[in-house]
Structure 1
């Protein structure tokens, strides 16, 4: 589906110069002289490159739709990750770099969503938050309790996050997967 360059919105997936791109940020600019244009920060869906492109209203781009499918994470095999289709029970192997830093939060049996373009996996979306156990938390420094200070902690998956002073080793917490931040104490 063709759309005008000034109609691009954050989150739109487009085909540009033979590649698949996702609009990350947009800025509509209307200079005093000349026509309006849209400054768009694009991220390549295949290799993660970023590009800033200026689209005028006369230009059009092809908006693409990605198919989403639910998969379950099974296990890691070297630098490949094995996922199972929830409907057909077929297994596929995907490289770990497709997930980026979010791969640290994968848990056995976790349900994920694969975005696919023409039956080819492009990205893996994990849940926004997961529960994890704090295995190591630094002691609170005396005198810092009055301010809203955070202390470093290591989770059972090896990820380091900053947690409030009242969190101790053995506590289950909820962590934002993509921001790598403490959200709340788990129920």
Structure 2
């Protein structure tokens, strides 16, 4: 049997099941009453992992949640077509398909063969978790102009997936750069 988690112990990035659906906690706020006999309340900002809907809900501190039947499975990106994005499960060697809506902005980082983690809920894939950094080639950027040396100056670069980011002036077209998948920013040369 899955362990139960009290609402007061749910913190940021914790996974829990509410009304038979998996959620991730985005933020939690505990309010303790000043009057005697008042109940401690926990306000959770949570995202439904199936629908990606985000909302706030208030619970009593002693309300309990089940741990969801979620697992992270290593997978690699194969290709994208009209049916969606196709991934190869590295453990069972099954092919899983996720819709364009489910993948969302993560598509800006997907290259053939990229290793990542697939979220599975009750054995079915429901989302993915990208690595923290992805290495991508720059397909277009303006050349640096002699004299443009102000500190911290940046320019726009288009990457091989179509994503555009700001890079330092010394970065040239054709170079490989490391990009953060969390904030979509330049993190260094690869």
TM-score w.r.t. structure 2 length? 0.88
Aligned length: 186
Post-superposition offset of 1:79: 4.5
Tell me the equivalent position of 1:40.
44
Unaligned runs of 5+ in 2: none
Tell me the equivalent position of 2:113.
109
Unaligned runs of 5+ in 1: none
8 Å CA contact retained: 1:12, 1:63: no
Spell out, residue by residue over 1:47-79, the C-alpha distance to the aligned partner (whole angstroms, 9 max, x if none).
Answer: 110011112223222222412211221111215
Tell me the equivalent position of 2:88.
84
**Counterpart selection for 2:134 from 130, 135, 138:** 130
Tell me the equivalent position of 2:4.
2
**Counterpart selection for 1:63 from 42, 60, 67:** 67
Post-superposition offset of 1:85: 2.0
**Counterpart selection for 2:161 from 157, 161, 164:** 157
Post-superposition offset of 1:149: 2.7
Runs in 1 of length 4+ with deviation above 4 angstroms? 139-144
TM-score w.r.t. structure 1 length? 0.89
Post-superposition offset of 1:15: 1.6
RMSD: 2.0
Tell me the equivalent position of 1:20.
22
SS in 2 for 1:101: helix
8 Å CA contact retained: 1:102, 1:178: no
8 Å CA contact retained: 1:115, 1:121: yes
